[in-house]
Chains A and B, each alone.
Chain A
């Protein structure tokens, strides 16, 4: 049995097996019926190789069936933490995504700002009136944008023209639209025309806010997860 076989013999054996093994397997399973069963029985009577194969397969099955189950070394149940890390909460995923988008827009707006696209011409008289407005104190240059739209009027006086001004500025800067509409409500209410600095501020706020959300909703706890 263990004698090295010639390649030619090997080929013949394999070809022979290709022909008969399917029948032998069905026969072993007890699903071979009718004429095929007769045919195989007849063949087995005269073919020692196939008889040996059938016997070999039977023995292998017997011995493999005796392999008892190996007990699992531990429980593989998921801890709540693992579950959360595998499927983070929708709030976490959304916040992460939104923070990333806001950050991307922020960088974009900042780049535009640096490039000077939205830098208004310096007005003759700085509109210092607006210092009463808390947001304006944070953003002195932002208030100058009011001057860009309506250089003649104090921005506090321009309440009537707010919408027009905002629309103008927004159409000039389409990227700012989502952030402007979502965030800087107070600024608009105060009648200051949004400009690129405000947009930047809003985006910064959005980035920080969503990052904070993501941080709060993150899957918590120690432990390493190999996935």
Chain B
């Protein structure tokens, strides 16, 4: 099914084939969820935002006019993230400390740095720490920098795709990426010892 050209699946979904739409959901949910998760830094909120993204996509399916379906979905998802973050800022039900605590509680397993805890206990702990730091570093970025850094460096998307998803110009996207990278670097510099050996200076 994966090999089947996505355009056909999209066309079928647009004709009202729910199974085809769900095929698209299955193909892209992982990526959409990861974007929302890295943006919101909260597993539950991310799942909620992901579900919303697919709801909106389903309703707006007739408005999709070709191009990369993945990018189209991610654009919807990133807009939802912006909304969520904005309303979170408007009504800060959780303090920043609480959010950090949450991130700590969630810890390395949830931050996704660990595949096998048994392999090397020391490495496990270090990576867990690093994952936490990295999540917080990402959170420290302004939203518009965060989204481009996630798309570019975590998800490995091209500039063209990021331009489409964010609606910003190429120059702006590049500027945000480089600024974001430097900010993360500065953030991590404070906990230098956490960096893996090959990245320590």
Contact = CB atoms under 8 A, between A and B. Distances in A.
Contacts of A134: none
B174 interface: yes
Nearest to A14: B179
Interface stretch (B63-71, B93-101, B160-168, B182-190): B182-190
B50 interface: yes
Given A83-B18, A227-B55, A53 B195 contact: no
Nearest to A85: B55
The interface residues of chain B, by DSSP majority, are classed as: helix
B134 A63 contact: yes
A181 interface: no
Nearest to B177: A25
B178 A61 contact: no
A39 interface: no
Contacts of B43: 73
Given A56-B182, A60-B153, A69-B34, A22 B29 contact: no
B3 to A, nearest CB: 20
A25 B178 contact: yes
A68 interface: yes
Interface string A71-109: 111111110101100110000000000000000000000
Contacts of B25: 75-78
Contact of A80 (B18, B113, B130): B18
Contacts of B58: 78, 83, 86-87
B37 A70 contact: yes
Among all A-B residue pairs, the 3 with the closest Cβ atoms: A56-B185, A70-B112, A64-B153
